[in-house]
Amino acid sequence: MSTPAISIENLTKEFPIPFKRERVTAVRDLSLRVEPGQVYGLLGPNGSGKSTTMKIVLGLVSPTRGRTEIFGRDSTRVESREDVGFLPENPYFYKFLTGAETLHFFGKLCGLSGKKLRDRTKELLALVRLEDAAHRRIGGYSKGMLQRIGLAQAMIQEPRLLVLDEPTAGVDPAGSREIRDLILDFKKRGITVLLCSHLLGQVQEICDRIGILHQGLLVREGRLDELISIENQTELILENASPELLADLQAAVAKSTARVVEQRRPQTTLERYFLEVTSDEKKVKGDP
Amino acid sequence: MNAPAATQHRAFSPSRIAAIASNTLLELIRLKVFYFLLIFALLIIGCSFFLVNLSFQEQFQVLKDVSLGAMSIFTWLLAVLATAMLLPKDIEDRTLYTILAKPVPRLEYLLGKLLGVLALLFVAISLMSVMFVLVLYIREQAAIHVATRSMAPAELAGEIASIRASTFTVSLIPCIVIIYLKAALCGALTLLLSTFASSSIFTIIVSVVVYLIGHVQPIAREYWLATNDAGAGTKIFLALISLIFPDLTAFNLVDDVVAGNAIALGLFLKTAALGVTYIVVYYLAAYFAFSAKEL
Amino acid sequence: MKRRLLVLFVALLAFGAVKVPYEEHLERVHRAAFFHGAKLDLGLREQIGQLGFLAALSGFRSLVADALYIHAHAAWERTEWGRMKLDFDAVTALQPRCVLFWDQAAWHMAFNASIAARDNPKQPREALRIRDQRQYWKLGEDYLLRGIANNPERPLLYDRLGFLYREKFKDHCKSAAIYAECAKLPGAPQYAHRFAAYELAQCPGHEREAYELLLALFHKGEDERLPTLLRILGELQEKLNVPPERKVDTRAPSHP
């Protein structure tokens, strides 16, 4: 078995409450593994321990008990972060830097320099489609642009693992779509992704596995399609079916133990519809 | 497609520290810092115009006192205010997470921040020194000009030598270096306070209190160490003050240098060594507190 | 985190135990080089007020001194001698290493205030006016002596004191002694040697000593053979009945 990208073993984190004896348990005896190449969704309501778990994996907070590893390296050690890129929720970068300078800065922190850094910066700016804004100050970036430069920064040292906290929060549908496409692109490249999001519809679209945290406990975990598929139902989508065929099918089902739950026209998603409409408008106005 | 390969980690990287330091310097230089410098320049120049009733010797004395005094206070203010908001700002903006999520040891992050502040102080004091020297030179030339017009040639050489001696003395340079070290020391101390303080305001207030107490520390120290009949409680109190607070008067060489004292090399090195030691100790203490900080 | 802070506090105390002896040592080094000689005591605080005292403590001693000096200057212009003296006391206490302040204080006392006292129209009795004049001379002398105590290596104040003894007290013996001290210091004015000898010549019982000194200076070279030296040397030669073969030519050289 190859080294898991993330390994969390019996993780517990307690926070002391000032002036009181008791402590708050943010994470209770959590164990999970994220295999290399997966897109893993860590879900849970506010206060469920998602952020804490992420911070512990990234070595920003130390565990009370238990152990977390990134590709076999203990999270409490600095080396483990050589393999990780992190995009925090609502990222702020130094407003006075331009997009390119921001990438340069983070690249230097990862040990890159010179031509290699410059090439990598250009490559990433192209990847996240910010070449035109590369020399504008971050202070002037929209939310979507901030998220994209954040992704670029997370990728600067070509990490094997990406940890993304609410990457599409507050971003408009077009930007959101771009970010999700990028994530899928990363997956194709073999990069592991740990994703935290409240936007469950989007999670459903891109994650392979999910874990659901509730009050510090892992209540459900597993392959997404297995978890949410309704066991005893089957979906059959037909094109150009005649009314007679449909009637025959209904009759056949009636004869068996199965039953028809619903017969309707499948719908496109509102998102796809919106994007189609707005991108047409964009073409009309001549915007890139 | 294969995933990217694992990367090697460098335990200590000057380029990482340099990246953080230069970024910090850039961030701080964009603050109102240069307004401070403007006020300083105006102070020096404005000062000259009020001194017409005094002899040139007296004028130069006041000019130097005001300029060096202003340099002292402004570099100290700069050090405390700039440092006090460094960490809280990074934490609030979450840039700290992004940085520490990279393979950057907390030691290097903190060192980079401190070096950025020290670089800022260096830039500020250099600019102020240039302005100071320039104004001093202009006033010196004006005094020489006046003397040339009004004095007999026989006495002129002596008078010019006297004017020159009142303006530039070699000891001004080590004096300015010590002013820098004092401000740097206060900056390092402020950094230490900011690692566990709850807000910037708290950090600043405590820094100011430490500055004031630091100037009476030698008095407390003298009373503590001298044989007298102070009670045990008083002795303990004085001892605590002496041990905890730095002796900031050790870095006050300005007054006597302007009065004509020379700073010997040995004295300068000993004083500088104390300053550097304080900076290193406070930095290490700041790292010790910061490394356990929950983010 | 709390435990860390406690450890940190203890560590700082331990560092304190190491640094305090060094700070003591550094203070001694500073004082030996004439730094930090200012006496900032309660008397001074009374004088310059709380704000001034605080400023002085915080390292702005020289600025406070300068401000007070300007104040003293203004007091002189208004002939408020009492106020002026108080200010000068504070100024010299704050900046004992600034010879300018001692010099100015002494000069105002011995040469300005004293004359004002002597000519004081409000004091009808001459004896009291003369007494007041002498008081001011003594105040001037006091400033110079204290100034010399704080600045033993600088010739200026010795020079001024020598002048004061000569001009006001007419005490040529003391003047000679001070000028002799002055002459020994690096940077002393050229005339210090000569003045020491001139004054010594007027100190009863020391004529021979003065003669030897002046003779030595005479033989030193042309630069020393100034009119005053030649004159006094000639007078002493007569007074001491120097044998003719040992006499030197003290006529002033004729200039073309």
pLDDT tens digit string along C209-232?
Answer: 999 888 888 888 888 888 888 888
Query: Cα(B89)–Cα(A281) distance, rounded to whole angstroms?
Result: 41
Question: Which residues, 6+ apart, have CB-to-CB distance to A262 below 8 Å?
Answer: none
Selecting from A82, A93, A190 the residue whose C-beta is nearest the C-beta of B2 gives A190
Contact B102 A109 (CB under 8 A): yes
pLDDT-above-70 percentage for chain B: 93
Closest among A94, C2, A59 to B86, alpha carbons compared: A94
B209 in contact with C, Cβ within 8 Å: no
Write the pLDDT tens digit of every residue in A190-230: 999 999 988 888 888 889 999 999 888 988 888 888 887 77
Closest among A249, A233, A229 to A241, alpha carbons compared: A249
CA max distance for chain A? 75
B292 in contact with C, Cβ within 8 Å: yes
Query: Cα(A252)–Cα(A259) distance, rounded to whole angstroms?
Result: 10
Token pair recorded at residue B153:
């040639």
Task: Report the pLDDT value the prediction gives residue A36, as an integer from 0 to 100.
Answer: 93
Nearest-CA distance from A92 to chain B in Å?
Answer: 6
Query: Cα(B160)–Cα(B141) distance, rounded to whole angstroms?
Result: 10
Our CA dihedral for B140, B145, B146, B152, rounded to 10 degrees, sits at 120
Residue keyed to tokens 């007298």: B228
Contact B103 A81 (CB under 8 A): yes
Amino acid (one-letter) located at C54: L
A83 in contact with B, Cβ within 8 Å: yes
Residues of chain A contacting residue B94, judged by C-beta atoms under 8 Å apart: 88-92
Selecting from B58, B211, B259 the residue whose C-beta is nearest the C-beta of C97 gives B259
Q: Which of A194-208, B102-116, C26-40, C44-58 is predicted least confidently? A: C44-58
Task: Report the pLDDT value the prediction gives residue C221, as an integer from 0 to 100.
Answer: 82
A153 in contact with B, Cβ within 8 Å: yes
Contact B104 A157 (CB under 8 A): no
- The residue among A78, A89, A164 with the most chain B CBs within 10 A of its CB, best to mutate, is A78
Banded pLDDT at C253 (limits 50, 70, 90):
low
Query: Cα(A236)–Cα(A261) distance, rounded to whole angstroms?
Result: 12
Query: Cα(A79)–Cα(B104) distance, rounded to whole angstroms?
Result: 9
Residue C141, H or E segment: helix C126-150
Nearest-CA distance from A80 to chain B in Å?
Answer: 7
Mean pLDDT of C126-133: 92
Nearest-CA distance from C48 to chain B in Å?
Answer: 17
Residue keyed to tokens 């922190």: A109
Handedness of CA C133, C135, C139, C142 (dihedral sign): positive
The DSSP output letter for A160 is S
**Per DSSP, what are the bridge partners of residue A78?**
none
Handedness of CA A37, A43, A49, A51 (dihedral sign): positive
Closest among B27, B48, B246, B270 to B140, alpha carbons compared: B48
User: Which tops the pLDDT comparison, B32 or B128?
Assistant: B128
Token pair recorded at residue B193:
């306070």
Residue C45, H or E segment: helix C42-55
- Closest residue, chain C, to B277 (C-alpha): C19
How far is the CA of A62 from the CAs of A7, A14, A74, C6, in angstroms?
15, 10, 11, 20
Residue B177: Cβ within 10 Å count: 17
Handedness of CA B43, B49, B55, B56 (dihedral sign): positive
Query: Cα(B263)–Cα(B172) distance, rounded to whole angstroms?
Result: 9
Residue B2: is its pLDDT beyond 50?
no
Task: Report the pLDDT value the prediction gives residue A84, as an integer from 0 to 100.
Answer: 93
Strands A65-70 and A73-74: antiparallel
Write the pLDDT tens digit of every residue in B41-79: 677 767 766 666 677 788 888 888 888 888 888 889 889
Instruction: Describe the strand order of the beta sheet including A6-16 as a list of residue ranges.
Output: A23-34, A6-16, A65-70, A73-74
Write the pLDDT tens digit of every residue in B250-293: 998 888 888 878 888 999 999 999 999 999 999 999 999 999 88
Contact C35 B248 (CB under 8 A): no
Strands A6-16 and A65-70: antiparallel
Residue C233: is its pLDDT beyond 60?
yes
Task: Report the pLDDT value the prediction gives residue B256, as an integer from 0 to 100.
Answer: 83
Task: Report the pLDDT value the prediction gives residue B1, as an integer from 0 to 100.
Answer: 39
- Closest residue, chain A, to B15 (C-alpha): A108
Residues of chain B contacting residue A160, judged by C-beta atoms under 8 Å apart: 3-4, 6
Contact C62 B294 (CB under 8 A): no
Q: Which residues of chain A have pLDDT under 70?
A: 1, 280-288
Task: Report the pLDDT value the prediction gives residue C254, as an integer from 0 to 100.
Answer: 57
At residue A58, φ and ψ (nearest 5 deg) are -85, 0
Contact C66 B212 (CB under 8 A): no
Query: Cα(B151)–Cα(B146) distance, rounded to whole angstroms?
Result: 8
Residue B228, H or E segment: none
Write the pLDDT tens digit of every residue in B78-92: 899 999 989 998 888
Could you list the beta-strand ranges (E) of A79-232.
Answer: 84-87, 161-165, 192-196, 209-214, 217-223
Query: Cα(C80)–Cα(A274) distance, rounded to whole angstroms?
Result: 90
Could you list the beta-strand ranges (E) of chain A.
Answer: 6-16, 23-34, 39-43, 65-70, 73-74, 84-87, 161-165, 192-196, 209-214, 217-223
Query: Cα(A185)–Cα(C216) distance, rounded to whole angstroms?
Result: 102
Token pair recorded at residue B54:
């005094």
Mean pLDDT of C76-80: 89
Contact A83 B19 (CB under 8 A): no
CB-based contact A8:A33 (threshold 8 Å):
yes
- Closest residue, chain B, to C99 (C-alpha): B259
Write the pLDDT tens digit of every residue in C161-210: 999 999 999 999 999 999 999 999 998 888 999 999 999 999 999 988 99
Alpha carbons within 13 A on the beta-carbon side of A255: 5
Write the pLDDT tens digit of every residue in B175-187: 999 999 999 999 9
Mean pLDDT of C117-121: 90
Mean pLDDT estimate for chain B: 86
Token pair recorded at residue C27:
């203070």
Output A261-265 pairs: Cβ under 8 A, ≥24 positions apart.
A261/A233
Contact B16 A111 (CB under 8 A): yes
User: Which tops the pLDDT comparison, B257 or C43?
Assistant: B257
Selecting from C7, C20, C57 the residue whose C-beta is nearest the C-beta of B215 gives C57
Could you list the beta-strand ranges (E) of chain B.
Answer: none
**Per DSSP, what are the bridge partners of residue A218?**
A213
Task: Report the pLDDT value the prediction gives residue C158, as an integer from 0 to 100.
Answer: 96
B6 in contact with A, Cβ within 8 Å: yes
Residues of chain B contacting residue A81, judged by C-beta atoms under 8 Å apart: 101-104
Closest among C66, C63, C89, C84 to C74, alpha carbons compared: C84
Instruction: Give the SS3 label for residue C63.
Output: helix
